[in-house]
Structure 1
Amino acid sequence: MTKEMKGAEIMIKSLEDLGVSRVFGYTGATILPVYHALGQSSISVNINANEQSAAFSAAGYSRSSDKVGVAIVTSGPAITNTLTAVADSNADSVPILVFAGQVQQSRMDTDEFQHINVKEVFAAAAKKVILVNDSSDIEETVKDAYFYAKSGKPGPVVIDFPLDVQRKTGMYKGVDIERFRLKYEQETHLGANQCKQFFNLLQKAKRPLLYIGGGMNNQAASAKIREFNRMFNIPSINSLMGKGVLDENKETALGMLGMFGTPYANTAIQETDLFVAFGVRWNDRVVQKVGESGLKADIAYIDINPLKVQEVRVTRMPKFSFIGDAATVLEDLLEYARHNPIKLNIEEWQKRAASLKRNFCLNFNRESAKIQAAEVMELLSRNMTDNTRVTTGVGNHQMLAAQWLLPKRPKSFITSGAFGTMGFSMPASIGVHFANPDARVIAIDGDGSLKMNMGEIHTIGSLGIPIKVILLNNHADGMVRNIQRVFYDGQCTGSERGFDANFAKVAKECGFKWTRKVRKREELEPAMTEFLAADGPCFLEVVTDRDEGVYPVIPQGKGYHDMVLGPYIKQVK
């Protein structure tokens, strides 16, 4: 069905065809035709406090579902505001669409008010940047961009949308979206010989270890790796972005690896003889890696990013590697195993993994007069349900949440990983809620990170969005301060705060239905119980110990054998 429409209307109709039901954004003059078209469509609009938050909400929507989040912003400073969130999504391989208003084409590359070269701004931060020159191109551009963002190594696509193109009439053609879906559905399968090679490697191993990354953090891949591990029960570890792919409550699921990883994960990697990595990027926060000095296990590596696989082939010389979608590869392996008896001789290793988890328990200063952020996370961990979704900011609270909280399903622990963006938690939680309206969404933040996007307290409160915010307030940038205490002679320049607002009162003024500020330990558990039971937007501020460290920790430049357990984690024999 063809129909003449304005460019902005074609864009919105194309989003409707794609099944988009909600967008996030902030208005402005050069994007008003699009907002006018939105007002006459079936798509709901969430207006954030700023454009960065809008794009983070879109990212939260994508990260917690298998959909693509959409942000719609105006030109100029809106573009630079959006840049950080786009770069964050690109670093963590998150598919979002950003529609950027732009001045008329005749005024581009001049000193026109609120004009900036969008392609140059996003060149290093987006998977793709597209300038729409003609209204006749809009429909195919939008539909293609949606599936391109999800394809291969996912990432953000930015569409630069000049004002005159938004206003100009063109033909909407109703192009079937299946055409674009099929364009990017390129399944690559393991052959029987490759499956045999993989299982031969696995059967020879005495201490295999699965390493699960963010590339596995989707429903399909999670379902397949869980089925794989029901069959073989191989001890597993995960990256920060891989939390929830496997159920971390299982006794051989050893949790997060890395600089602030669990003591059992960081010990297991030192003992493995076969490191089976799915969907990981071998980042620096995983510090010393298999293939480097002291960690000489064989490697099997599967990832969808050909550049990363090729890099690992050169630098780490894996015994097995494959470029492809993890869910597809795992189904191939499962199908092979169903028809070929595969016996692993790893009973002692399974017992060892379970004993590591029992004997290296996380701990904190339980004798302190001050509330520890870790004890807040321990208390929350006892109240996690299958239907809980968690977002975090960046800092000590993020690492403590990653250590203590054990999500039971994929896409339920939402955080800024590779880019490490403070201010992520609050706006991301909004997107998580709208993608999962029946879930209990808990936004965990630190005082420094919260203030980066504090305007979203107003967004949540004024709209009555039922998000539960836990603020761990230590009146400092705790992670930075910890580094200063160790490496900069204890001089904490710039990282301490002498005064903060009463954030619980701010939240109440912004419309939160339940608010509380906790200063004493005896108040904490009753407040947490009320907080979790209350309806509507809830805000729990907990004043925590500024001097609390995060343990275990691996000092920068060191290896896993240099892991510092701290004064409170004891190995139980």
Structure 2
Amino acid sequence: MNGAEILVKSLEDLGVERIFGYSGAAILPVFDALGKSSIDIVINSNEQSCAFGAAGISRSSNKVGVAIVTSGPAITNTLTAVADSNADSIPLLVFAGQVSSGKMGTDEFQHIDVSNVFAKAAKKVVLVSQADDIESIVKDAYYFAKSGKPGPVVIDLPMDVQFEIGEYHGENPITFSHKYEDERHLGANQCEEFFRLLKNSRRPLLYIGGGLNNRAASERIREFNRIFGIPSINSLMGKGILDESFRTSLGMLGMFGTPYANIAIQETDLFIGMGIRWDDRVAQKVGESGLNADIAYIDINPIKVQEVRTSRYPKFSFIGDAATALDDLIQYAKSHPVELDIEKWQQRVITLKDDCQLTYNTDSKYIQQAEVMEKLSSLLPCDINVTTGVGNHQMLAAQHLKIKHPRSFITSGGFGTMGFSLPAAIGAHFANPETLTLAIDGDSSIRMNMGEMYTIGTRKLPIKVLLLNNRSTGMVRNIQTARYGNRIVATEEPENQVSFAAIASECGFDTSIKISHRDELEAALKTMLQSKGSVFLEVMTDMEEMVYPVVAPGKGYKEMEMGPYISAVK
């Protein structure tokens, strides 16, 4: 086979059913081979969306999404999506067409030094030098991307190597999978140490991150908490790992976290972090005056564990797969019964949820985005995948929506990339075609990859899109209001803004709706969720709406601003 055919056959061996791509001269041999294969090609509006769509596969399933693009600007267009996946530890394969090997390092048309461009944005970058290596590189990369701390792998594929004849061996992909199996377990002494801390605690708090955002880890943390009933909070990426309808599930921690999550962290005496990045939103706050809780930290990333060991001296830490560690702890607890004295603490967090409920300006004549999220949450079916863009709508969705399953709330966390929602929803739909997919976006965020309205409409994908349109870059405008003396610069749109709903209709959506009045809202949301085919619902919302609570940059949780509508702490 030639190199392009070996690549495609290797993807078929791995069970890849579709790729997201955009063709071009430097990748045409691969697309020609794809055309003769069983693999479906999803053509997005640009290469960034290709990589976001592939990441949507990875984020919503146990598969690794694949994007294939051509050289030069095509591969640099994927840089943002690759960095986004790297920040959120999302496995991804990106194949980049490249000029012929002998022309690399010259001023050849559309040449870019892929290795240097992606060195800090990807988990790994591989330059293929001969066709005989392609099979092992592709199959190894698939499992390497999923292993340890997952992340994107970029494969640089010169034109001459795509044409070169090589030997295809048909190696079993499982042999590559075994290379990356994590054998680390908690020993009996480590389990005993963990439970000694837990038994001595009166106010333990679980902090669940994206490292547990898969079925196996979610099942284990749910079993663990059925036994112990420890109040929990989650990161943005950890949403849905524990059922958020539980009374002691406090929701998202952080700058725009729920008030009760941000209060609970101030009162805990044992902070148990699992599968979290331990970023600035947590590290600085946990270190603030008055937050003197003991720390237990479990994560597969040795760098992060070492950072915490260096800066915070946790009483317990473990480098390894969180699902495996939880299984070890559960088995230990079953053979060594552990009783906790935390009833007062459980009641305290339930009272916090009752006393500090999320709310909004109910007297405004304009629809509030928080109001939309609150109504939507009561209407969502249990089995749904929700994607978001980035902005106020994202934080309000994270605050208000009750997500009951892992990998069901799909958002750009660490990199915060606007334009994420639509292409990610396309990937999530293809990974889970029987599950309802809802893309929530804001008017500024959706414009970044608005071409995916065309992809959804022309391919007749049954994706629902909810656009919250406040004619502004709302989150940035909020900062201008609060921190820059209400000087609003470059964050408002004109009143004669185009109708996104009309654009959706022109793009081929089956149903397109635009509303501006509160009394239309509930019926429109029900229509969106219950109608067959693609639906676009544009809701005009209040430009002046602020997201609360908020912990301002440089401030601690004890300085959280509750805003004018959320009740003060009792």
The interval holding the TM-score normalised by the smaller chain is over 0.9
Matched residue, 1:570:
567
Question: Which whole-Å deviations, capped at 9, do the CAs of 1:211-255 have from their partners, x for residues lacking one?
Answer: 001111111110100000000000000000000000011000000
- Secondary structure of the 2:427 match is helix
The code of the aligned residue for 1:569 comes to I
1:534 equivalent to 2:522? Answer: no
1:276-295 → structure 2 map (5 Å cutoff): 276-286=272-282, 288-295=284-291
Partner of 1:323: 319
Match of 2:26 in 1: 30
Instruction: Give the structure 1 partner of residue 108 of structure 2.
Output: 112
| AA of the residue aligned to 1:254 | L
What amino acid does structure 1 have at the position aligned with 2:521? L
- Residue in 2 that maps onto 1:242: 238
Matching of residues 355-394 of structure 1 within 5 Å: 355-394=351-390
Distance 2:133 2:220 in 1: 39
Partner of 1:55: 51
Structure 1 Cα separation of the partners of residues 35 and 95 of structure 2: 16
Paired position in structure 2 for 1:332: 328
Structure 1 residue 530: Cα displacement: 1.1
Q: Which residue number corresponds to residue 92 of structure 2? A: 96
| Cα distance in 1, alignment partners of residues 23 and 485 from structure 2 | 47
Does the CA contact (< 8 Å) of 2:352 and 2:569 recur in 1? no
Aligned residue in 1 for 2:124: 128
Assess, with a 3 A threshold, how the Cα gap between structure 1 residues 242 and 479 changes in structure 2: closer, same or farther.
same
In 2, the alpha carbon distance for the partners of 1:539 and 1:192 equals 54
Amino acid of the structure 1 residue aligned with 2:546:
G
Amino acid in structure 2 at the alignment position of 1:512: F
Partner of 1:508: 505
Aligned AA for 1:45?
A: I
User: Structure 2 CA distance, aligned partners of 1:398 and 1:557?
Assistant: 22
Distance 2:535 2:102 in 1: 49
Letter in 2 for 1:154: P
1:66, distance to aligned residue in structure 2 (A): 1.0
* Superposed displacement of residue 486, structure 1: 1.3
Among 225, 230, 241, the residue aligned to 2:221 = 225
Cα deviation digits, residues 300-329 of structure 1 (max 9, x gap): 000000010011001010000000000000
Secondary structure of 2:196's partner?
helix
Partner of 2:184: 188
Letter in 1 for 2:85: S
1:429 aligns with 2:425: yes
How much has 1:282 moved relative to structure 2?
1.5
- Who is 2:157 aligned against? 161
SS in 1 for 2:11: helix
Classify the secondary structure of the residue corresponding to 2:286: coil
Provide the C-alpha distance between the structure 1 equivalents of 2:290 and 2:145, rounded to a whole number of angstroms: 39
Q: How does 1:449-528 map to 2 (within 5 A)?
A: 449-498=445-494, 499-528=496-525
Q: Are 2:235 and 1:214 equivalent residues in the alignment?
A: no
Q: Deviations over 1:369-394 (max 9, x none)?
A: 00001111011100122211100000
Letter in 1 for 2:175: R
Task: Show the counterpart of 1:396.
Answer: 392
Deviates more, 1:382-391 or 1:326-335: 382-391
Partner SS state of residue 389, structure 1: strand
* Alpha carbons 2:389, 2:445 under 8 Å: kept: yes
Unaligned runs of 5+ in 2: none
Match of 1:553?
550
How far the C-alpha of 1:441 sits from its partner, in A, is 0.5
The match for 2:443 is 447
Tell me what 1:313 maps to.
309
CA distance in 2, matches of 1:493, 1:264: 34
Q: Which residue of 2 aligns with 1:415?
A: 411
User: Which range moves more in the overlay, 276-285 or 422-431?
Assistant: 276-285
Letter in 1 for 2:296: A
Separation of aligned partners in 2, 1:572 and 1:318: 29
SS at match of 2:167: strand
- Find the aligned partners of 1:152 and 1:164 in 2 and give their Cα distance: 33
Do the aligned residues in 2 keep the contact of 1:259 with 1:287 (CA within 8 Å)?
no
**Match of 1:406?**
402
CA contact (8 A) 1:552 1:566 kept: yes
Verify the 8 A CA contact 1:373 1:400 in the aligned structure 2: yes
1:378-424 deviation per Cα after TM superposition (whole angstroms, max 9, x unaligned): 11100122211100000000000000011100000000000000000
Mapped to 1, the partners of 2:519 and 2:281 lie a distance apart of 36
Q: Residues of 2 paired with 1:289 and 1:437: CA distance? A: 40
Kindly tell me the number of residue pairs found equivalent between the two proteins: 569
Cα distance, 1:287 vs structure 2: 6.7
Is 490-499 or 54-63 further displaced after alignment? Answer: 490-499
* Counterpart residue type for residue 90 of structure 2: V
Paired letter, 1:40: K
Alpha-carbon contact 1:259-1:286 (below 8 Å) kept? no
Please list the CA deviations of residues 175-210 of structure 1 after superposition, one character each: whole Å capped at 9, or x if unmatched. 111211010002200000110010010000000000
Shift, 1:571, TM fit: 4.1
Match runs of 1:40-79 below 5 Å = 40-79=36-75
Other structure's SS at 2:415 match: coil
For 1:475, give the aligned amino acid. Answer: R
* Contact 1:361 1:571 survives alignment (8 Å): no
Distance 2:406 2:228 in 1: 20
Question: 1:289 deviation in Å?
Answer: 2.8
Structure 1 residue runs of 5 or longer lacking an equivalent are none
Q: Which moved more, 1:250-259 or 1:283-292?
A: 283-292
Q: State the shift of 1:109 in Å.
A: 1.0
* Residue type of the alignment partner of 1:159: I
Q: Secondary structure at the match of 2:546?
A: coil
TM-score (normalizing by structure 1): 0.98
SS of residue paired to 1:88:
helix
- 1:38 alignment partner AA: L
CA contact (8 A) 2:299 2:305 kept: yes
Q: Describe the SS at the equivalent of 2:254.
A: coil
Report the AA paired with residue 417 of structure 2: T
Q: CA deviation at 1:285?
A: 3.0
Alpha-carbon distance between aligned partners in 2 of 1:550 and 1:187, rounded to the nearest angstrom = 44
Give the conservation status (yes or no) of the 8 Å contact 1:287–1:558: no
**One-letter amino acid of the structure 2 residue matched with residue 72 of structure 1:** I
2:268 to 272, 279, 285: 272
Cα shift at 1:572: 7.8
Query: Structure 2: how far apart are the matches of 1:245 and 1:186?
Result: 21
Q: Match of 1:39?
A: 35
2:77 alignment partner AA: N
Give the letter for the 2:245 counterpart: N
Report if aligned partners of 1:258, 1:287 keep a CA contact under 8 Å in 2: no
Deviations 1:334-379 (A, max 9, x none): 0001111100010111111111111111000011000001111011
